[in-house]
């Protein structure tokens, strides 16, 4: 009889605990205490599954089914180097006889960016449509990569060059030391961080390293090259 009474008390206590836990999970304060007189502890609220984390504030604003906005990236503009042989093949044929070494060409170069061709000559910085000078199409094209420099910033940069290193009237032009290839190399590094090929920039030293080149230097220094067909670049609020 005593055993049955004890079992009944234990069953009642377990039932009471079960009801208390259920009430706590439902947000109801049962007011039930344990055997020691202390209130029974309420269970912790259930945690969301790992794959159901609360959305971030930015995600919460995206309508269901809509794609999140893509982060804007600067536009890239291709940069190319046009290479012209001013000798039209004669340097390749005659340089071994005249200089004692092989030269593949007498190079003129220009930079193609923002759908225009830019070059430097005795008339200063000029521009035209790609291949728009009387030199015609280039003999070769070198891909220099791409640039994030916008057209507006680039034209401002050219304007600053025209007032300093590559002045408008071309008085700083020198066939050996400050020519179209000097300009192309400078602009290429500004746009892409890359130099133009060394076989182009090394051409003056190749010529002057020969006795024939040294003998002709006074005459060659007086030569100024300005490919016809371009527009002289003078930009402050516009380009002409």
Give the residue numbers marked as catalytic.
108, 180
Query: What six digits make up the tokens of 141?
Result: 């094209």
Spatial distance between the Cα atoms of 18 and 228, rounded to a whole number of angstroms: 98
Element (H, E) at 19: helix 2-25
Q: C-alpha angle 36/41/44, rounded to 5°?
A: 165
Contacts of 40 (CB under 8 A, 6+ apart): 17, 20, 21, 24, 30, 32, 33, 34
Q: Residues with Cβ < 8 Å from 199, sequence gap 6 or more? A: 104
CA terminus-to-terminus distance, the chain? 115
Other C-beta atoms closer than 10 Å to the C-beta of 99 total 18
């Amino acid at each position: 009889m005593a055993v049955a009474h004890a079992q009944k008390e234990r069953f009642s206590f377990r039932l009471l605990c079960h009801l208390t836990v259920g009430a706590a999970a439902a947000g109801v304060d049962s007011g039930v205490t344990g055997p020691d007189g202390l209130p029974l502890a309420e269970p912790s609220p259930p945690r969301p599954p790992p794959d159901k984390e609360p959305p971030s504030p930015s995600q919460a604003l995206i309508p269901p089914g809509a794609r999140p906005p893509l982060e804007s990236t600067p536009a890239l503009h291709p940069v190319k180097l046009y290479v012209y042989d001013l000798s039209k093949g004669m340097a390749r044929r005659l340089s071994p006889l005249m200089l004692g070494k092989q030269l593949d060409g007498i190079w003129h170069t220009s930079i193609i960016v923002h759908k225009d061709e830019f070059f430097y000559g005795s008339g200063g910085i000029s521009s035209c449509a790609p291949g728009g000078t009387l030199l015609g199409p280039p003999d070769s094209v070198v891909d220099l990569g791409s640039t994030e420099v916008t057209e507006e910033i680039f034209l401002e940069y050219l304007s600053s060059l025209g007032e300093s290193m590559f002045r408008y009237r071309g008085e700083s032009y020198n066939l050996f030391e400050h020519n179209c290839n000097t300009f192309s190399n400078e602009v290429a590094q500004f746009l892409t961080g890359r130099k133009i090929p060394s076989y182009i920039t090394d051409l003056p030293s190749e010529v002057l390293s020969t006795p024939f080149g040294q003998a002709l230097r006074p005459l060659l220094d007086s030569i100024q090259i300005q490919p016809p067909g371009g527009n002289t670049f003078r930009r402050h609020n516009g380009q002409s």
